[in-house]
Amino acid sequence: MTPMSASGLPRIARVRRLGRLLNIGVPYLWIGLFFLLPFVIVLRIGIAEPALAQPPYTALWQWVDSGLLEIRISLQNFSLVLEDDLYLAALLGSLQVASVCTLLCLVIGYPMAYAIATAPVRWRVPLLLLVVLPFWTSFLIRVYAWIGILKSNGLLNNFLIWLGLIDEPLQILHTQLAVYIGVVYAYLPFMILPLYANLTRLDRGLLEAAADLGCRPLRAFRKITLPLSLPGIVAGSMLVFIPVVGEFVIPDLLGGPESLMIGKVLWMEFFSNKDWPLAAALATLLLALLLVPFVLMQRLEQRLQSDDDAARP
C-alpha cells in the first residue's frame, strides 16, 4: 500500500458515513422541525389553563420564591373534550361529510379519470388541464361563487324557475346539501389525478387477453381494471377524506347552523371562545384519530406489495 491510499481510504469512508448521516438526517430533521416541534407546542398549550393575558393561557412553570419550581399541568381540557358530547357530535358530523363526499368523488371521479386515461394521447393533456384549471383561481373565490349560484335568488334557482320546474326558490344555501356540493366540487380533482396516474399505467394487453378468452367488458373491468386501480382509489380517497375531515371554509360559508364539523368547532374555540387550551386538546385528539386511516392505508399497501411479490414466480 502506498502512503497516499492509506490516508485516503479512511477519509473516503468518513465522507461516506457523513453523507449517509445527512441522507437519513434530513427527513428526520424535516419531521422534527415541521411536525414534532409544532405538535409539542400544541400539546403544551393543551395542558395549560385559559387566561385573559398575552398569550391567552397560563405558563407551564414558574419560579416560586426560594428557588422552588412550580409546574402546572391541567388535564381538564382533555377530560372536557371527552365528556362533552358536542365534540363527539362534531367529529361524527365531520366523518359523515368526509365519507359521503369521498364516495361521491369516487363515483363521479372514477369515470372521469377512466375516460381521460383511455382518451387519445393528444387529448389527455388538454383534458387534464381542464381538471386542474380551476386551481388557478383562489379556493375562497370559488367557494364564494357557489354562494352566488345556490342562494335564493341565485343562478340555479332563477334557472329552475325560468324552466318552470319550481315556483318558489329552493333553500339550498346554508343547508347541509350546500356543504356536500361545495366539498365534492372542491375536492374532485384530488380524486381524479391519482386515479388517472394509476389508470394510464394499466396494461391494455390484459384487457385484450381477457376479451380474447371470451370475458365480457363489465366482468373484465371488475376482475382486472378495478383490482389493479385499487392503489389509485386508496390514494385518491385519502387525499379527499383527510382534508375534508378538518375542512372549515366550506361549511362556514355554505353551511347553516346545523352543519356541525370539527374544523368549525376548532375555529370557534380559538377565535370566539379564545379557549386555546381546549382547542389544542381537541387538535391533539383529532390528530391521533386521523393517524388511524394512515396506518390502515400503510397496512393495505404492504399487503398489496406482498401479494405482488408472492404472485411473481
Nearer to another protein by Cβ, of 98 and 235: the residue is 98
Nearer to another protein by Cβ, of 193 and 261: the residue is 261
User: Contact region for another protein (CB under 8 A) — 45-53, 158-166, 215-223, 281-289?
Assistant: 45-53
Give the list of residues 6+ apart from residue 251 with CB closer than 8 angstroms, or none: 97, 179, 259, 261, 263, 264
Q: How many CB atoms lie within 10 A of CB 270?
A: 17
**What stretches of the chain adopt beta strand conformation (E)?**
61-64, 68-71
For position 55 contacting another protein by CB under 8 A, the verdict is yes
For position 44 contacting another protein by CB under 8 A, the verdict is no
- Contact status, residue 93 vs residue 66, Cβ threshold 8 Å: no
- Contact status, residue 150 vs residue 172, Cβ threshold 8 Å: yes
Which one of 42, 51, 103, 304 is in contact with another protein (CB under 8 A)? 51
Question: Shortest approach of another protein to residue 268 CB, angstroms?
Answer: 6
**What stretches of 142-251 adopt beta strand conformation (E)?**
none
Which one of 42, 56, 95, 293 is in contact with another protein (CB under 8 A)? 56
For position 141 contacting another protein by CB under 8 A, the verdict is no
Question: Which three cell numbers mark 62?
Answer: 414558574
Nearer to another protein by Cβ, of 51 and 238: the residue is 51
Strand 61-64 with 68-71, pairing: antiparallel
Which one of 152, 160, 197, 238 is in contact with another protein (CB under 8 A)? 152
Question: Shortest approach of another protein to residue 289 CB, angstroms?
Answer: 20
For position 274 contacting another protein by CB under 8 A, the verdict is yes
- Contact status, residue 198 vs residue 301, Cβ threshold 8 Å: no
For position 272 contacting another protein by CB under 8 A, the verdict is yes
Nearer to another protein by Cβ, of 151 and 186: the residue is 151
Which of 121, 136, 110 has its CA nearest to residue 194?
A: 110
Rounded CA gap, 146 and 154, in Å?
Answer: 9
Q: What angle do CA 246, 250, 253 make, to 5 degrees?
A: 135
Under rule CB under 8 A, which residues in 184-213 are in contact with another protein? none
Largest CA distance in the chain: 97
Which one of 4, 53, 213, 218 is in contact with another protein (CB under 8 A)? 53
Which one of 78, 109, 174, 184 is in contact with another protein (CB under 8 A)? 174
Rounded CA gap, 258 and 251, in Å?
Answer: 10
For position 270 contacting another protein by CB under 8 A, the verdict is yes
Q: Phi and psi at residue 65, in whole multiples of 5°?
A: -55, 165
For position 277 contacting another protein by CB under 8 A, the verdict is no
Mapped onto helix, strand or coil, the DSSP state of residue 61 is: strand
Number of residues in contact with another protein under rule CB under 8 A: 28
Question: Shortest approach of another protein to residue 186 CB, angstroms?
Answer: 20
For position 54 contacting another protein by CB under 8 A, the verdict is yes
Question: Shortest approach of another protein to residue 33 CB, angstroms?
Answer: 21
For position 83 contacting another protein by CB under 8 A, the verdict is no
Rounded CA gap, 175 and 64, in Å?
Answer: 54
- Contact status, residue 185 vs residue 150, Cβ threshold 8 Å: no
For position 151 contacting another protein by CB under 8 A, the verdict is yes
Mapped onto helix, strand or coil, the DSSP state of residue 275 is: coil
Question: Shortest approach of another protein to residue 152 CB, angstroms?
Answer: 5
Given the rule CB under 8 A, which residues bind another protein? 50-56, 85-86, 89-90, 151-153, 171, 174, 256-258, 260, 265, 268, 270-275
